[in-house]
Chain A
Amino acid sequence: MELFELITPRTITDAIKAQSSSPTAQNGASVRFIAGGTNLIDYMKLNVERPSQLVDINTLPLTTIESTPEGGLKLGALTRNSDVANHPTVKAHYAVLSEAILAGASPQLRNMATTAGNLLQKTRCVYFRDTASPCNKREPGTGCSAIGGYNRMLAILGTSEHCIATNPSDQNVALAALEATIHIEGAKGTRAIPIADFYLIPGNTPQRETVLEPGDLITHITLPPALPAAKSIYLKLRDRASYEFALASAAIVLQLDAANRITHSRIALGGVGTKPWRSLEAERSLQGKPATPITFRAAAEAALHAAKPQSQNGFKIELAKRCLTHALTQASTLA
């Protein structure tokens, strides 16, 4: 691990100022905010991350979960994953978020990891972790080792010829389906970004994963008011029963009318995309249709329409379709 200077800012302004001196907020940043540290320290040990300064933001006042005036929910950047998952309001009105968080990592990691840290956990693959392998995300222009290499776990949606790494988060898939807004304070003031606009697909610049610029600090996220009578669910399929990344997952928010027709749906997929994968195609396919197996399968076909398999992960296309179909079936039959 490289040497670093630890900075403990007393205010949000000081924290922003400290990180602003980095040439980037993306891969290769020389100054990093540190909260739970579970992702960052792992990469520092591997010399994948080599910040010369760490800004410890854990003492900043970003730790509350509270209702918004609009009837939604505000989650402070430093709220811990376990606290969000077990919060009564989250469990009651945003079940998909609670279920997704509890499906990810381990209890120990969830006690450490924060809401904003989870938002920023890296889109990655085994070659990104290995400094001996070429990787366009870690070292732009060196090539992608995963294309034609070990890619069984990797993405089938949103890939480019430069990167096929998967966004591994469960939390963020649920937040995509809940249409969360990410609130940022930066050198030029504050701004609010819908989660749909927050993540970037790799394209020619896989080293850039989000719209964050130097000095940008996520202060909190907000969730819109929960739809009355909507059901939400998270279904995760993986190689073992617990403590494993998704091969495919689905976050569903579904609202039916008295005639069992779909009046509202929000669909996001995990484990298959280069970012938390909101599927507008699936949502359009479901709108106004009766909640039947045929409707659900059609939505799944629409969601995976543009999927592009690699040498080892073609099975994910059918797996993701079945995952979404099964999750929709479950959501539609929830009491």
Chain B
Amino acid sequence: MATDEPPTKTPSTSLEKLTRRSFLSHMGAAGVATAVAPLAATAVIAQPTEPAEAAAPVIPGTTPITLKINGETHTLAIDPRATLLDTLRETLHLTGTKKGCDHGQCGACTVHLNGRRINSCLTFAVMHQQADITTIEGLGQPGNLHPMQAAFVEHDSYQCGYCTSGQIMSAVAMTKEPWGATDRDVQEAMSGNICRCGAYPNIVAAVQAVRRIA
């Protein structure tokens, strides 16, 4: 995934629209006193980075971070409580990654962290400034689909499609993990991804099709 000059994107974030007044009122009066100090401290302990050349306006309640996603480096200002999932969706508008249960039980939020699949809902974005993050958008695009994406289309491996990006991210990762060859192995390997439409047989068929040609 090495690129010569990874473009640096400026943040396009809903937090930019957040004024100090709206942030504080959102926090509620009781939260204000405790809110300021920890967040200020958070900014101090963030990974050492070069000072920004053109200092972006500081957004109250946020901490500056950089994330490397799909080969591109993004400079962001986020609430330090933001999960990787919420940061992808709400700040970077990479909405291919879905929020299902938000508690690590459904797998809809599956992304790759340094090539390994994880639940992006159960980790803070601020903790992954050194990682290579891949989302469904970085796997393939219309006209240039990843073989697993193409196999899901070929085998009709979805109905409503909400779990599909997580299923595909999980499936791509499992082809690099030490699993056996049977359908039963695929079922076990994919058990962290729930499909409430029940497209499981076709999901297994798609995964096995890709594994056979791999």
Docked pose: A38 CA to B81 CA in angstroms: 14
CB pair A4–B38 under 8 Å, yes or no, is yes
Tell me how far the C-beta of B183 lies from the nearest C-beta in chain A, rounded to whole angstroms: 13
Residue of B nearest to A240 (CB): B191
Q: A8: which of B39, B45, B81, B83 is its contact (CB, 8 Å)?
A: B45
How many chain B residues touch A (CB < 8 A): the figure is 40
Residue of A nearest to B106 (CB): A106
Docked pose: A109 CA to B47 CA in angstroms: 25
Interface membership of B90, Cβ < 8 A = no
Within 8 A of B (CB), among A241-258: 241-243
CB pair A243–B191 under 8 Å, yes or no, is yes
Docked pose: A41 CA to B118 CA in angstroms: 14
Chain A 95-121 interface 0/1 with B at a Cβ cutoff of 8 Å (1 = within)? 000000000011111011000000000
CB pair B104–A6 under 8 Å, yes or no, is no
Interface membership of B117, Cβ < 8 A = yes
CB pair A3–B178 under 8 Å, yes or no, is no
Report B-chain residues with C-beta under 8 Å of the C-beta of A5. Answer: 37-39, 41-42, 45
CB pair A45–B103 under 8 Å, yes or no, is yes
Q: A108: which of B35, B83, B103, B170 is its contact (CB, 8 Å)?
A: B170
Chain B 147-161 interface 0/1 with A at a Cβ cutoff of 8 Å (1 = within)? 000000000000000
Q: A41: which of B47, B122, B193 is its contact (CB, 8 Å)?
A: B122
Tell me how far the C-beta of A264 lies from the nearest C-beta in chain B, rounded to whole angstroms: 30
Chain B 138-168 interface 0/1 with A at a Cβ cutoff of 8 Å (1 = within)? 0000000000000000000000000000000
Tell me how far the C-beta of B124 lies from the nearest C-beta in chain A, rounded to whole angstroms: 7
Report A-chain residues with C-beta under 8 Å of the C-beta of B41. Answer: 5
Interface membership of B102, Cβ < 8 A = yes
Residue of A nearest to B127 (CB): A56
CB pair B83–A41 under 8 Å, yes or no, is yes
Report A-chain residues with C-beta under 8 Å of the C-beta of B127. Answer: 6, 34, 37, 56, 58
Interface membership of A226, Cβ < 8 A = no
Docked pose: A112 CA to B117 CA in angstroms: 9
Q: B178: which of A86, A109, A112, A242 is its contact (CB, 8 Å)?
A: A86
Assuming the contacts A6-B42, A112-B118, asked whether A107 and B104 have C-beta atoms less than 8 A apart, the reply is: no
Report A-chain residues with C-beta under 8 Å of the C-beta of B119. Answer: 38, 106, 108-109, 112
Chain B 56-100 interface 0/1 with A at a Cβ cutoff of 8 Å (1 = within)? 000000000000000000000000110100000000000000000
Tell me how far the C-beta of A54 lies from the nearest C-beta in chain B, rounded to whole angstroms: 8
Docked pose: A7 CA to B124 CA in angstroms: 13
Docked pose: A106 CA to B174 CA in angstroms: 12
Report B-chain residues with C-beta under 8 Å of the C-beta of A7. Answer: 45
Chain A 40-52 interface 0/1 with B at a Cβ cutoff of 8 Å (1 = within)? 0110010000001
Within 8 A of B (CB), among A8-57: 8, 34, 36-38, 41-42, 45, 52-53, 56
Report B-chain residues with C-beta under 8 Å of the C-beta of A243. Answer: 191-192
Chain A 168-196 interface 0/1 with B at a Cβ cutoff of 8 Å (1 = within)? 00000000000000000000000000000
Residue of A nearest to B116 (CB): A111
Report A-chain residues with C-beta under 8 Å of the C-beta of B210. Answer: none
Docked pose: A5 CA to B173 CA in angstroms: 33
CB pair B123–A41 under 8 Å, yes or no, is yes
Report A-chain residues with C-beta under 8 Å of the C-beta of B116. Answer: 82, 111
CB pair B81–A3 under 8 Å, yes or no, is yes
Docked pose: A6 CA to B127 CA in angstroms: 9
CB pair A1–B189 under 8 Å, yes or no, is no
Tell me how far the C-beta of B122 lies from the nearest C-beta in chain A, rounded to whole angstroms: 5
Docked pose: A36 CA to B123 CA in angstroms: 8
Interface residues of A (CB under 8 A from B): 1, 3-8, 34, 36-38, 41-42, 45, 52-53, 56, 58, 82, 86, 105-109, 111-112, 241-243
Known: A6-B42, A38-B119, A106-B104. 11 other contacts (CB 8 A): A1-B81, A5-B39, A6-B46, A8-B47, A42-B104, A45-B102, A86-B177, A107-B170, A108-B118, A111-B118, A112-B118
**Ordered nearest first, which 10 A-B pairs have the shortest CB separation?**
A106-B192, A242-B191, A5-B38, A243-B191, A111-B116, A5-B41, A108-B119, A108-B192, A38-B122, A41-B122
Interface residues of B (CB under 8 A from A): 31, 34-35, 37-39, 41-42, 45-47, 80-81, 83, 102-104, 107, 110, 113, 116-119, 122-124, 126-127, 170, 173-174, 177-178, 187-189, 191-193
CB pairs A–B below 8 angstroms (13 shown): A3-B31, A3-B35, A5-B42, A42-B122, A86-B178, A106-B104, A106-B191, A107-B117, A107-B170, A107-B189, A107-B191, A108-B117, A108-B192
